[in-house]
Chains A and B, each alone.
Chain A
Amino acid sequence: MKKYLYIFKSELMTNLQYTFDILVGFVSYCIMIFIFLNLWKYIYSNPNEVIKGYTMNQMIWYVIVTEILWMSLGGRKLCKKICNDVRSGNITYNITKPYNYVEYSLFSHLGITTLKFVLITILGILLGLLFLGEFPHLTILGILGVILSCALATIINILIITTIGLVSFFIEDANPFFWLYSKLILVVGTIFPIEFFPQFLQPIAKYSPIYVVSYGPAKLFVDYSNEKLLEIIIIQVIYLGITWLIAHLIYKKGVKKLNVNGG
């Protein structure tokens, strides 16, 4: 575990040198929030209106949290890196080292994600307060619960994307699978809470990754309850175990198929 924490730390320290690049990239976050703010203001003709159990402010805070989770993740970069590692044969450099590639990817990517998460969260909260003028009612326990849930959501997301990237062992380019996954999360998980979907789709969404990587933490933030916290954390832990197992299984099977030409 110590070596993975070292990888995490060194990645974090490296990225601290490029904070300006990260900050410039935050313009996209501000734009997305601005678009959704305008969109929901248009949909809610009256700010006190409640649609599917959500007020306008709750909807905007929901999007702020889900966008923090998605934007800080940098999933496209992670998937592309793993695909390139496999396709180019660079993965052999990692195989010979005394660590597991899945854990290496997880902790190395957590380094940059943690930094981005902290910075985007500050930005997101400031934007929320600026545009909405109020913060959701949360106790200290609630805040800690949301942070824990966000951390688990990020780890699960990284493991899912790592698994998608490792599919490159079997097909040449796994990036198209990532596009579909990212759109699923963006469209189904980021913009609307599950309650906005047709009744027959809601149970499916509840068992999908959307519930644990996007809906869960955001729902806790806008409408916190201890029961909800417990339910979401339990489902996240189950998902964490499953995704960890699948990632290792795919890696183990894939490495056996690896064929690298020396050079």
Chain B
Amino acid sequence: MLTEVKNQLKVTGQSIRYALQREMLNKVTFVSNILFMILNNACFIIQWIILYSLKEDVGGYTFKQVILLWGLASFTYGISRFFFRDSFELSETINCGKLDNYLVQPKNVLIQCITSSVEVSALGDIIYGLIMITIFGLTIKNLLLFILCGICGGLVVASISVIISSLSFWFGRTEVIANTINSLMTNFATYPEGIFKGAIKILFYTILPLGITAYVPIQLISDFKLIYLIYIIIGTLLFITIAFLVFNRGLKKYSSSNLMNVRI
């Protein structure tokens, strides 16, 4: 079992490494994509400087906590788009019958399928996240918790995309719904929880698991409590399990389109 996991991780690592090497062929584009993404994210600091000049706290968050929230949202987004980029294209992969390539390989179909390419600009998101945690307060504890929460968040975001995209096995095109849910999560995750009132908060801890990807991690890093950490880890494992279950169940209904293509 452990050897199998080790082998899978090794193959996944190599797949990501080759995908990255492909993207690095044009060095200028590679570097400019990363730098511009960092600048792009940094623009939002202006928004918060202005908002905090109008009011001392926004949604119960201090300015530093908002910086942390943005850093975490960016890091989470970066992890999901860099390592699991193809989870956001899964619906098209299923609909166009492009899964054949992965079915003939002796490794897990889902993992191979969602890690076969990388989004270079997502490295900018990851670096921006690390800059933000440095501004918030760089300690070993903060950094480790930040990275752990970001990885968990990235896995949850990718899992949600897999769950919704896998519905394509039964219902055809579901990418519009998957894109909408992803954009919903990104938009909400960048605003303090305290500005929202009423039933919407129930959504944050259920259908849109912003509790796992954004709000509880902020509380965890600001004020460590073991229960928060357990909540994040169990929530992440739950979403990953559901993603595998739904995908594997759907895979039984998959039919090839006899599409001829080569995976380089």
Interface residues of A, Cβ cutoff 8 Å to B: 21, 24-25, 27-28, 31-32, 34-35, 38-39, 41-43, 51, 171-173, 175-177, 179-180, 183-184, 186-188, 191-192, 196-197
Contact = CB atoms under 8 A, between A and B. Distances in A.
B180 interface: yes
Contact of A183 (B32, B35, B43, B184): B43
B96 interface: no
A21 B179 CA distance: 12
Interface in B125-183: 176-177, 180, 183
Given A179-B40, A180-B40, A183-B40, A24 B32 contact: no
B176 A43 contact: no
Contacts of B37: 176, 179
Contact of B46 (A25, A31, A177, A188): A188
A180 B39 contact: yes
Interface stretch (B1-9, B83-91, B187-195, B223-231): B187-195
A187 B32 contact: no
Contacts of B195: 35, 38-39, 41-42
Contact of B43 (A35, A184, A192): A184
Interface of B: 26, 28-29, 32-33, 35-37, 39-40, 43-44, 46-47, 50-51, 54-55, 58-59, 121, 176-177, 180, 183-184, 187-188, 191, 194-197, 200
Given A24-B176, A179-B36, A42 B58 contact: yes
Given A24-B180, A171-B28, A173-B29, A187 B47 contact: yes
B147 to A, nearest CB: 25
Contacts of A39: 51, 58, 191, 195
Contacts of A176: 32-33, 35-37, 40, 121
Contact of B55 (A24, A43, A173, A177): A43
A28 B59 contact: no
Contacts of B183: 28, 31
Given A24-B180, A173-B32, A184-B43, 15 more contacts: A28-B184, A31-B187, A38-B195, A38-B197, A42-B58, A51-B54, A172-B26, A173-B29, A173-B33, A175-B33, A176-B35, A187-B44, A187-B46, A188-B46, A196-B50
Contacts of A35: 187-188, 191, 195
Contacts of A191: 47
A175 B34 CA distance: 12
Given A24-B180, A191-B47, A172 B187 contact: no
A173 B23 CA distance: 12
Contacts of B176: 21, 24-25
B69 to A, nearest CB: 13
B51 A43 contact: yes
Contacts of A38: 191, 195-197
Nearest to A183: B43
Contacts of A28: 180, 183-184, 187
A183 B70 CA distance: 15
Nearest to B51: A43
A6 to B, nearest CB: 29
Contacts of A175: 33
A180 B43 contact: yes
A159 to B, nearest CB: 21
Given A25-B176, A172-B28, A172-B29, A183 B44 contact: yes
Contacts of A34: 200
A68 B39 CA distance: 25
Nearest to B190: A35
Nearest to B197: A38
B164 to A, nearest CB: 13
In order of increasing CB-CB distance, the 7 nearest A-B pairs are A176-B36, A183-B43, A179-B40, A42-B195, A38-B195, A24-B176, A172-B29
Nearest to B40: A179
30 contacts: A25-B176, A27-B184, A28-B180, A28-B184, A31-B184, A34-B200, A35-B187, A35-B188, A38-B195, A39-B58, A39-B191, A39-B195, A42-B194, A42-B195, A43-B58, A171-B28, A171-B29, A176-B33, A176-B36, A176-B40, A179-B36, A179-B40, A180-B36, A183-B43, A184-B43, A187-B44, A187-B47, A192-B47, A192-B50, A196-B54
A180 B41 CA distance: 9
Contacts of A27: 180, 184
A43 B180 contact: no
Q: Among the interface residues A172, A179, A184, A186, which one has the most CB atoms of the partner chain B within 10 A?
A: A179
Nearest to A35: B191
A29 to B, nearest CB: 10
A25 B39 contact: no
